[in-house]
Structure 1
Amino acid sequence: MFRDVQEQFLKKADCTVKVISKEGDMYSLLVGQQKLISNKPIVDTYKISFDLVVRECHCECNLFQSKAILCCHMLSTFAYFELNEVPTCYILARWSKNVRRKHTFMKSCHDENCSDESNNLYRGLCSHFFNVAQDFVRNTEDASILHLAMDGAQTTLHDHRASKDQSRVPSRQSNKASET
């Protein structure tokens, strides 16, 4: 993902921005991107709409809508309006290095430590859930009861975790008599 974004930043150098019209805070722009095809320079033009106050940009190439990557045309628009930071609406949690994904507990031969305790616990639980679900998947009534049981187990576990977290926090009681 880093390389894909980096590529768009490099392509930004081949772009020129031209304002077509302005209505209030909404700008319509044309961004020309120069490309070399068979050693001949060709300029592709893309229409951009940009709201300066909300800092929302839309490019007709639709790279952000399809791959969630800012295109060089949008990056050029931000540079044109001297926005030194990418607007927060374009920073998606799924590209963050701190994102928590459920599939990270699954065993992979690429993991450095495949025998990690959380991976073993996860695999054991998945195996148990699979076996239970396999027994009750043929009947919708049985499956509904299993869903309710799982919801109840989840609630119980959340309550248990919350009570453990509260017992770890030391209570601070201020007593004027003991201070003196």
Structure 2
Amino acid sequence: MNAFFDGYINSRTTLQEFVKQYDNALQHKTEKETQADFTLLNTTLPCGSQSLIERQFQKHYTHAKFTEIQSEFRGKINCFVDGVVVQDNSSLYKVMEDSIYNEIREERAFMVTFQRDTMDVNCSCLLFEFRGIICRHCVCVLAQERVTEVPAKYILPRWCKSVRRKHTYIRATYNNNEKDPHIERYDNLTKTFGNIAEIACIRCAIHWVHVTADIITQ
């Protein structure tokens, strides 16, 4: 929230000014996203490796999110497998990562579980669970297992190029129906479905009254 309103409001902003500045902030955000979409459609960030998995993320993700993914692929060079325990279709890998902190080399161990039947991969660092990004330790294990494509669940729709941002359907003072006809269509559909929902709600209420009456009679 602070980042969204940065430069638009402060502790002395009145309520009337807030309403105006909120609209200005929303317009600025929309313009930046439109510019980013244009850049996305006309440029391609090159892959830093020959990994087919990296190419998979390149194909689906926006530039900003793909850049974060690439950081993990670069970090893979500092990881190596230090042991594996195989049981049926499951493998438990011990992945070591080299790092330098205050000019001192350190090694950290991470446990990665890989399921061959589902291609599921989970790491003790929990990067995917916290940030939705597959970690370098998992990338290391996937390369070890010769996996060339990750399951769809590791590609989150909210960061895909094809996503349609819902806030663009919201009517604002800077919107013009002639320029944005989808906003007018969205408003009309919202009213129509609202009426349908109201009728359905009334009919459901009447139905349950009859059902309750039948139960009491019996």
TM-score, structure 1 normalization: 0.61
Alignment of 1:52-131 (within 5 A): 52-106=116-170, 115=176, 116-118=179-181, 121=184, 125=187
1:18 to 1:88, Cα distance in 2 relative to 1, 3 A: farther
Moved more, 84-93 or 59-68: 84-93
1:80 to 1:151, Cα distance in 2 relative to 1, 3 A: same
Contact kept, 8 Å, 2:170 with 2:183, in 1: the verdict is no
Structure with greater proportional helix content = 2
How many residues align? The count is 132
1:22 to 1:150, Cα distance in 2 relative to 1, 3 A: same
Pick the aligned partner of 2:112 from 48, 67, 76: 48
Q: What code does the residue aligned with 1:149 have?
A: N
CA shift, 1:121, in A, is 2.4
Runs of 4+ in 1 over 4 A off after TM superposition: none
Say whether 1:149 aligns with 2:201: no
Structure with greater proportional strand content = 1
Q: Aligned partners of 1:107, 1:82: CA distance in 2, in Å?
A: 49
Contact kept, 8 Å, 2:84 with 2:94, in 1: the verdict is yes
Considering only aligned residues, what root-mean-square deviation do their CA atoms show, in Å? 3.2
Contact kept, 8 Å, 1:107 with 1:119, in 2: the verdict is no
TM-score, structure 2 normalization: 0.52
Q: Aligned partners of 2:156, 2:107: CA distance in 1, in Å?
A: 30
Contact kept, 8 Å, 1:47 with 1:60, in 2: the verdict is yes
Q: What code does the residue aligned with 1:96 have?
A: C
Q: What code does the residue aligned with 2:77 have?
A: A
User: Any unmatched runs of 5+ in structure 1?
Assistant: 130-146, 154-180
DSSP-derived class of the 1:7 partner = helix
Aligned residue in 1 for 2:81: 17
Identity of aligned residues (%): 24
Give CA deviations for 1:105-132 in whole Å, capped at 9, x if unaligned.
3479xxxx96432365279x49x97xxx
Pick the aligned partner of 2:103 from 39, 43, 61: 39
DSSP-derived class of the 2:142 partner = helix
Greater C-alpha Rg: 1
Structure number with higher relative contact order (C-alpha < 8 Å, ≥ 6 residues apart)? 2
User: Any unmatched runs of 5+ in structure 2?
Assistant: 1-64, 200-218
Q: Aligned partners of 1:30, 1:122: CA distance in 2, in Å?
A: 54
Aligned residue in 2 for 1:132: none
